[in-house]
Structure 1
Amino acid sequence: MSPADEPGHDTSAGGYTSTRTHLPETGTPRRPARSSSRSLVTVVAVVVVLIAAIAFANRGNGDGSNTTAGNGSGASGTKPQAESTAATGTKPVDGKTSGIPTGYAQSRQGVQSAAANYAVALGSTAMFKKAGRDALVNALYTPAEAARLVPELDKAYSTDFLARAGLDANGDAPQGSTFVSRTVPIGTTVSAYADTTATVAVWYMGLIGMSGTNSTDPVSSSWSTWTFQLQWTDGDWKVASQSQTSGPAPVPGDNKAASSDEISKAIEEYGGFTYAR
């Protein structure tokens, strides 16, 4: 699965601009009908149970029936309190590993910042390239989970799969086209927390597709919830396991769908964010 490498938006493995600004609300453009190739991408996503980019392609059923994701209500089943969505103004992290913000506080706030930023990194176009994918997985997952995921991801991101996404064997888009894969967190909630373990759900909007004159798979949006089980390992939060469900998705707005040129220009000009509680 994959999305966004970024100049103000560095497109190197897992890199993105470290701007701590909350995104304004925007309408979701209406999109063309889904192509049959997306169904094939979905099969890979479900079997491998990996990261956002492939999950974005899971546009088919949208029933959100999987109950493994966090319900956003905390362990007691009550509604989250105001502080679960309010910004604190605290800087989330000081360091980076392979261009990815790392070194979060061992706290509820720190684990939410980690989960949101990990979702952004793992939902980037870096995941479609071997070097970038390995760097992300080894930086963000526990050693045991990383060792398990690396060979599985190599199989999932096969030449055939990349071709179905419109990419060559190296994960590059055709000349004149822009491959888009981004995760945009809307909010996070902690359903379980202890000093060394936590379960955090990230509600996000995903963008995936190929922007280009000859593209048959235009960039479209999806809404999902990504739940991370994190462990405090070697002085930072690491992903031990994960799951995803569709939605909750708002009613689509009335925005006119942008042209492929407009989408390509926006992807080049607008960088990603570092998210903080």
Structure 2
Amino acid sequence: MSLDLQAAANKRMRRGLITLAAIVVVLAVVVVLLLLTGGGKKDSDKGSGAGAGKPAPAVTHKPSDTFTQPKNWVLLPEGAGKDNGLPVKFPKSDEGAAAMMVAVIRSSWKLDQKDIERSAVTYSVPQERDEVKAAARDVAAGNRKNAGVPDNGPPPQDLAFSVIPIGVQWSRQDDTHVKVSVNVRTVIGGGNGKEPETQLISTTGMAVWTDGDWKNASVPPVQNPEPFDIGDAGFNGAGWKAIQDGSKK
């Protein structure tokens, strides 16, 4: 299922050059993604990785028997302002870049076209904004189809839908570019009495400092860090920093 809006738009911009640039989350069971950020999914049953720009096999998370405390935590800064009802004006720091990318996921991994368009307009770099926004309809339709939700109208009342960024890592490229990877836990249930499934996905994008704020830009196909849940020993081994809740200040 395609939840990463910008990746879908990137596919349109580079049609014929890139087949799959990334993965994004599945709204329950299906994973389909062609996005401009690199994306990786992990299936605990298969445990295999993905090549650069290729999706890893999807996996359903199975809790570990033992809990391993994350070695590194990060309290991401809040945006100093709002635009289209979404947080903006993040500080010019690595943590600020990561906070923007987390905001992109929270606002765009949705079932409603209007939500996806709003995220595209708010967070995309100016030169990619129109293409990303234009992809919103197809992305929303694909998400609904793969989740087993009708094309129009509200989803089933008992549909479980939770997208929670749990970890980040970043690599500063220069003074205005920071490559950010986000580790996301999704809990999706198809509704109508179906049991929800928990899946872990990692996705990578480029935060670009422009006009006094961080914006999301497309990146070439990349190898994403392996996604692990908090408490899994692999979380530390993959280099993730656990996102600390603001209430822990």
Query: Normalising to structure 1: TM-score of the pair?
Result: 0.56
What is the CA distance between 1:165 and its match in structure 2? 1.6
Letter in 2 for 1:239: N
Q: Aligned-pair distance for 1:62? A: 5.4
Per the alignment, in what secondary structure is the counterpart of residue 79 of structure 2? Answer: coil
Match of 1:224 in 2: 201
Q: How many residues align?
A: 196
1:65 corresponds, among 50, 73, 83, to 50
CA RMSD of superposed structures (Å): 4.1
* 2:85 is the alignment partner of 1:99: yes
C-alpha distance in 1, partners of 2:160/2:128? Answer: 28
Partners of 1:112 and 1:180 lie apart in 2 by: 23
Q: Mark the runs of 5 or more structure 2 residues left unpaired by the alignment.
A: 5-27, 55-70, 233-244
SS at match of 2:149: coil
2:185 to 205, 209, 218: 205
* 1:224/1:248 contact within 8 Å kept: yes
- Asked if the contact 2:159–2:192 (Cα under 8 Å) also holds between the matched residues in 1, the reply is yes
In the alignment, the residues of structure 2 paired with residue 93 and residue 204 of structure 1 have an alpha-carbon distance, to the nearest angstrom, of 20
Select 1:192's aligned residue among 153, 172, 197.
172
Q: Kindly provide the amino acid, as one letter, of the partner of residue 208 in structure 1.
A: I
Q: Percent identity?
A: 20
Counterparts of 1:51 and 1:276, CA distance in 2: 31
- What pairs up with 1:5-154 in 2 under 5 angstroms? 38=29, 41-42=30-31, 45-46=32-33, 48-49=34-35, 63-67=48-52, 85-87=72-74, 91-123=77-109, 127-154=110-137
Describe the superposition over 1:152-192 as per-residue Cα deviations: whole angstroms up to 9, x where unpaired. 3322333x762442222235213x4234141x222222222
Q: 2:139 is matched with which residue: 126, 143, 156?
A: 156
Greater relative contact order, per chain length (Cα 8 Å cut-off, separation 6+): 1
132-141 or 200-209, larger mean C-alpha shift: 200-209
- What TM-score comes out, normalization by structure 2 length? 0.62
Structure 1 residue 141, shift from structure 2 partner = 1.0
- For 2:51, give the aligned amino acid: N
Distance 2:147 2:202 in 1: 23
Counterpart code for 2:155: A
CA 1:206–1:66 in 2, change beyond 3 Å: closer, same or farther? Answer: farther
Tell me by how many angstroms 1:87 deviates.
Answer: 3.8
For 1:57 and 1:2, how far apart are their aligned partners in 2? 16
Q: Which residue number corresponds to residue 24 of structure 2?
A: none
Cα-to-partner distance string for 1:64-100 (whole Å, 9 max, x where unaligned)? 223469xxxxxxxxxxxxxx93446x84322122232
SS at match of 1:206: strand
